[in-house]
Structure 1
């Protein structure tokens, strides 16, 4: 236990890195999911096929394989660009590589979530908003978007929960996140159990806080609607 206390600052720093990476990856996933959902609902067949290829490939490859591919190939791509432009070498950190990879991975899952939420919105409500004289942007902001968010929240919460746990895989490329610090500390002190328990409690804390936040959001967006769950 004394060794656990000694490593606590490093564990706390690793916890912060894990949370930061999860949040940034989630933002990227939401952006990719929104673009993907728009693409799937597009009237252009080429766009729909492009999104289908993205979601099929990404969801068919394990997270670890994608992280390794992106980490090594992203660095090679950056080297190619900097050499061609005559710039100084730019190193791609494990944090950046992991964040981008996880964001792209879970953007594919959110594509389906957001698409389903958009299709669940009653078309008649948009028509009613138009009849009331609302402009397209007003209709989107006041009528359509709140209902899409409400429909998408349960699925989005599930994706977020899985995404946070996937950040643990990034430690394999050298990131000193919560898991990376716990494994290194356990290897140095031969006290793997206590350090892995610290990582366990850290992820449990993230899950608990996330559950509270999403529950409050669901209550907020459920106001004025008949409960369906």
Structure 2
């Protein structure tokens, strides 16, 4: 028991322990992932609408955006956003005759970077879900006199979410783990706290293992939630 206490001591709560810091890091990780998901979903919907548009002026930029984001390392995108947002903000301030020296908050920069990444993949999920709705149902809605707006909100949109939930659930898992990339900009999310704790206590294996367990717990709970949402969305569907 004495040996076990010696090994797990640094992970204890209260003064001298890192348990509180790890939980705070996990909470920040969840907040970062949730904010990135909300912004990314909204941007992804707009991009999907643009890619489905008949206008080249909308479709081509949206296609170029998704091609660029999916072809560039996510780590690099986060660095570009972090350093580029500072320069853009100071350039705007200088243009308005204000003093430079502003810094974009690290959390905001991380949300923007992850949202940009999330949106590119969410766009393809929404686009595929939109096209997955049977055309016969759309034609039937128009045949009984529904307007295009009514067809969209009563027939296509509810089913779009049903088709999109599995892909979005998997994408949430990816974003939840990708929050660890924010450690590079010194944001105290879970992985950075584990790194700092491991270096301070000269026991990195213990802290990284603890972080891995917390990540596993969060993703496991998320997977249960995804399965529940998917089952709820498929209620009343034949063969579900």
TM range (shorter): over 0.9
More RCO (CA 8 Å, sep 6+): 1
2:110 maps to 98
Is 1:167 the counterpart of 2:179 in the alignment?
Answer: yes
Is 1:45 the counterpart of 2:46 in the alignment?
Answer: no
2:89 maps to 78
Is 1:12 the counterpart of 2:32 in the alignment?
Answer: no
How far apart in 2 are the matches of 1:190 and 1:162? 30
- Structure 1 227/85 Cα, relative in aligned 2: closer, same or farther at 3 Å? farther
Deviation of 1:131 (Å): 3.7
Deviation of 1:133 (Å): 4.3
- The TM-score, its normalising length taken from structure 2, stands at 0.90
Gaps of 5+ in 2: 1-7
Deviation of 1:136 (Å): 4.2
Residue 136 of structure 2 aligns to a residue whose secondary structure is helix
1:190 maps to 202
1:145 maps to 157
Of 61, 74, 79, the match for 1:68: 79
How far apart in 2 are the matches of 1:44 and 1:134? 25
Say which one has the larger Rg.
2
Cα deviations by residue, 1:160-179 (Å, 9 ceiling, x for unpaired): 11111111011011010000
Deviation of 1:91 (Å): 1.6
Give the paired residue count. 228
How far apart in 1 are the matches of 2:110 and 2:150? 37
RMSD, matched Cα: 1.6
Deviation of 1:36 (Å): 1.2
How far apart in 1 are the matches of 2:213 and 2:97? 47
Is 1:216 the counterpart of 2:223 in the alignment?
Answer: no
Is 1:3 the counterpart of 2:10 in the alignment?
Answer: yes
How far apart in 2 are the matches of 1:221 and 1:212? 14
Residue 103 of structure 2 aligns to a residue whose secondary structure is coil
Residue 223 of structure 1 aligns to a residue whose secondary structure is coil
Deviation of 1:39 (Å): 0.8
Cα deviations by residue, 1:38-79 (Å, 9 ceiling, x for unpaired): 111101012111011101110011011111111111111111
Is 1:109 the counterpart of 2:116 in the alignment?
Answer: no
Deviation of 1:135 (Å): 4.5
Gaps of 5+ in 1: none
